[in-house]
């Protein structure tokens, strides 16, 4: 099952007094998830570490503005995603319609790759090479769809929580999630179908 941030008791008033012990506990409870989100959003360790540091520096500086209406994890994910998106925008390789290929002109999504690769052994599906292919597929999503997918399916947030992090409606979140999942399925099917023992006609 998906790993979520452990349900650590957060003493908001201690955090807002800038109590270092309370902040260290917050960091330890949430840094693995924030690092993973940065890594999967940006695709490399150095950027993930930069996002991780920036997220907690901003959280420390702005903790007074956190009113406790949402979960603190929601607030931290939002800071981390904003940092990630800012870095992605600075990259020179501008994004050009990365989700193209499975959508018709009227926005309908049509699966093209029909090969059942689920029978491949788990060892093959989760090999080092396969995990690199999974990361390439995640990177190939548009930033908006990637963020929706990572929050819902990798971080395990509910639709409502993920929509809250991204500050979009739940229905908009669901559309992004559907596009992301179908695109990933398409890309992983391309990859794994070549690894089937007998090539499917």
Partner 1 sequence: MNHQHHTNCQDTIQQLNAYLDDELDPQLCAQLEAHLESCTDCHIVYNTLKKTIQLCQSDGEEVALPADVRQRLLASLGLGEVDDTE
| Interaction site with partner 1 (CB under 8 A) | 2-3, 20-21, 23-25, 27-28, 31-32, 35-36, 39-40, 45, 49, 52-53, 56-57, 60, 108-112, 114-118, 125-126, 130-131, 134-135, 138, 149-150, 153-156, 159, 174, 177-178, 181-182, 184-185, 188-189, 200-201
Nearer to partner 1, 36 or 195 (CB): 36
Element (H, E) at 54: helix 45-62
* Shortest distance, position 142 Cβ to partner 1, whole Å: 16
What would the DSSP string read from start to end of 139-166? HTS-HHHHHHHIIIIIS---HHHHHHHH
In whole angstroms, what separates CA 45 from the centre of its chain? 15
Tokens of 79: 């800071």
Among 8, 122, 119, residue whose Cα is nearest residue 72? 8
Nearer to partner 1, 92 or 104 (CB): 104
* Shortest distance, position 45 Cβ to partner 1, whole Å: 8
Nearer to partner 1, 92 or 170 (CB): 170
Among 28, 191, 32, residue whose Cα is nearest residue 120? 191
Nearer to partner 1, 82 or 130 (CB): 130
* Shortest distance, position 89 Cβ to partner 1, whole Å: 23
Three-state DSSP class for 23?
Answer: helix
* Residue 103 per-residue DSSP state: B
* Shortest distance, position 112 Cβ to partner 1, whole Å: 7
């Amino acid at each position: 099952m998906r790993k979520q941030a452990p349900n650590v008791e957060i003493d908001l008033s201690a955090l807002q007094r800038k109590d270092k012990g309370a902040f260290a506990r917050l960091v330890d409870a949430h840094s693995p998830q924030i690092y993973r989100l940065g890594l999967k959003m940006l695709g490399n360790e150095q950027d993930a570490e930069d996002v991780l540091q920036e997220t907690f520096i901003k959280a420390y500086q702005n903790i007074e503005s956190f009113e406790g209406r949402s979960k603190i994890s929601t607030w931290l994910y939002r800071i981390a995603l904003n940092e990630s998106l800012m870095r992605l925008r600075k990259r020179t390789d501008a994004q050009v319609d990365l989700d193209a290929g499975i959508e018709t002109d009227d926005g309908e999504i049509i699966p093209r790759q029909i090969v059942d690769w689920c029978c491949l052994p788990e060892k093959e599906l989760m090999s080092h090479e396969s995990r690199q292919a999974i990361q390439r597929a995640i990177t190939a999503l548009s930033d908006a769809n990637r963020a929706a997918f990572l929050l819902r399916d990798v971080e395990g947030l509910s639709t409502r929580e993920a929509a809250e992090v991204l500050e979009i409606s739940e229905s908009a979140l669901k559309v992004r999630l559907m596009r992301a999942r179908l695109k990933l399925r398409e890309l992983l099917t391309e990859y794994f179908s070549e690894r089937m023992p007998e090539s499917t006609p």
